[in-house]
Amino acid sequence: MIRFLLKGLLRDRHRSLFPLLVISLGVALLVLFQAWLQGALYGTLSNQAHFRTGHVKLLTRGAWAENQSSSLDLALSQVETLKNELATSYPDLNFFPRLRFGGLLDVPDAKGETRSQSPILGFGLELFNHKQEIQAFHLQEGLAQGRLPQGPGEILLTLDLAEKLQLTLGEKATLISNDPNGGMVIHNFTLVGMVRFGIKPLDRASLIGDLKDLQRALGMRKGATEIVGFFKEKGLNRPRALEIKRHFNQNHPLSELSPQMITLSDQDGLDTYLDQIESWMSWILIFFIGLLGFILWNLGLINGLRRYREMGLRLALGEEKKQIYQSLLLEALVLGLVGTFLGTSIGLLPAYYLQEVGLDTTKILTGNQNFMIQNQVHAKIIFSNLWVGFFPGLFAPFLGTLISGLGVFRKNTAQILNQLESI
């Protein structure tokens, strides 16, 4: 029976081609749209977590209260002890101490006097023997020139900053900053690599070095401005992050320099952003599924109504009403199934392209941008892309046909004879 229907659909293009095209196109757009939303919204969140907030973050109460995450006088002390305590208490997360600081980078001329200068945002990361931090900061992928630091006194700069300072690989530059007591720090470093994050706020003026090396330079051997924690599996788990935060904070004192745990949701208005993402994603998808369903349902209805004459003829030839109705429904199912498969495949192709290559947003997003939005926004293909098209693609035309096909039961002999006369 299905084989017979397939033959009919293939041979009679009036019956199959247009509905198939509409179903495929609608499903393809839905799949592409879902993958794009997923990539754009969660990609921004993922960047925010990797570069800034972690899934959870430890900093001093003073730094959190005064919103001074890069203030060295409010930095955490005894970081190794804290890290070990965290690793033992919460084994489902990986923890990394980081140093975030401000300063000025000064490039000398041949006489050792200032040739160029720029303010910088410094990051001290566990670069030696810790691949996870290199991965979190996308340093290997972002390396535009040179190599990653391998020993003390070596730093990376963003390509934009190095170009602004007219600094080339192997040249020395002097970091001017403050130690935790406010004392002046003047320290020489060698540039060994240049990176590009593809994120405006970071690309403007970032300096990256090894944590221990920068701790020595800034006079804070066991200190760090923060310890970020990431769930080992499946990314952010909001309820668990909240549970960890409550548990940690209950067991630590309330002084200005004592550690305080915060979650990703507590920072940069991300709580609202996360809620909005989840709500937007659901509503936008419901809207699109609804809209596409409505169009395809109408298509099923029109298709059914268009074929009333054919039904009359088939009834006149002796086919039973129930049999005709069943064949119409089966046809709708086959069309929906084929259209959804086609549409999903077609939609996944541009989604894959956008996942791998991305879309340049530098010309779209202008102005002072502080959110970690990548210049190249990528789509993200997820498992639900494979089945999301089935709701509207399969069920809507089926439902349309289910209603319009009922017309066959209202046909009487007079109508059939009338229709036969007009043929």
Partner 1 sequence: MRLWALLFFFCLTGLPLAAEPTAAEILRRLDQNQLYPTLFIESTMIIQGRKGQRRLRSQSWSQGREKSFIRYLSPPRERGTSMLKLKDQLWLYSPQADRTIAIAGHMLRQPIMGSDLSYEDMMERTSLVKNYQATKLDNEVIQGAGSWVLELKAKQAGLAYPKQRIWVDPKKIAATKVELYGSRGKLLKRVTIQSFIQTPTGWYPSDLTYKDMLK
Cα separation, 267 vs 272, whole angstroms: 10
- Residue 399 makes contact with partner 1 by CB under 8 A: no
Question: Which residue has tokens 């196109």?
Answer: 25
Where do the H-state alpha helices sit in 307-392? 308-316, 321-356, 390
Q: Is 258 in the site for partner 1 (CB under 8 A)?
A: no
**CB 368 → partner 1: shortest distance, Å?**
17
Query: How many residues sit close enough to partner 1 to count as binding (CB under 8 A)?
Result: 26
In whole angstroms, give the CA distance from residue 237 to residue 414: 67
Query: Judged by CB under 8 A, which stretch of 87-95, 108-116, 134-142, 303-311 contacts partner 1?
Result: 108-116
Q: Does 108 bind partner 1 (CB under 8 A)?
A: yes
Identified binder of partner 1 from the candidate list 130, 187, 216, 321, rule CB under 8 A = 187
Contacting residue, 46, 70, 117, 323, with partner 1 by CB under 8 A:
117
**Contact between 178 and partner 1 per CB under 8 A:** yes
> Sign (positive/negative) of CA torsion 40, 42, 46, 52?
positive
292 binds partner 1 (CB under 8 A): no
* Rounded Cα gap, residues 390 and 39, in angstroms: 21
Q: How far is the CB of 245 from partner 1 (least distance, A)?
A: 25
Q: How far is the CB of 249 from partner 1 (least distance, A)?
A: 21
Instruction: Tell whether residue 113 is a contact of partner 1 (CB under 8 A).
Output: yes
Residue 97 to residue 75: CA distance in whole angstroms: 11
Name which of 220 and 402 has its Cβ closer to partner 1: 220
Extract long-range pairs of 235-241: CB within 8 Å, 24+ residues apart.
Answer: 235/46, 235/55, 236/45, 236/49, 236/55, 236/264, 237/55, 238/263, 238/265, 238/274, 240/92, 241/55, 241/56, 241/265
Interface with partner 1, residue 184, by CB under 8 A: yes
- Closer CB to partner 1, residue 189 or residue 231? 189
Considering the complex, what minimum distance in angstroms separates the CB of residue 114 from partner 1?
4
Q: Does 74 bind partner 1 (CB under 8 A)?
A: yes
Q: Does 182 bind partner 1 (CB under 8 A)?
A: yes
Q: Residue 216 Cβ, how far from partner 1 at the closest point, in Å?
A: 12
Compute how many other C-beta atoms are within 10 angstroms of the C-beta atom of residue 401: 27
In whole angstroms, how far apart are CA 88 and each of 82, 83, 95? 10, 9, 11
Whole-number Cα distances in Å, 119 to 137, 213, 281, 367? 21, 20, 39, 19
Q: Quick check: 152 binds partner 1 (CB under 8 A)?
A: no
Name the segment binding partner 1 (CB under 8 A); options: 91-99, 180-188, 318-326, 384-392: 180-188
Q: 304: Cβ–Cβ under 8 A, 6 or more apart, which residues?
A: 328, 400, 401, 403, 404, 405, 407
Residues that bind partner 1 (CB under 8 A): 62, 73-74, 104, 106, 108, 112-114, 117, 119, 174, 176, 178-184, 186-188, 219, 256-257
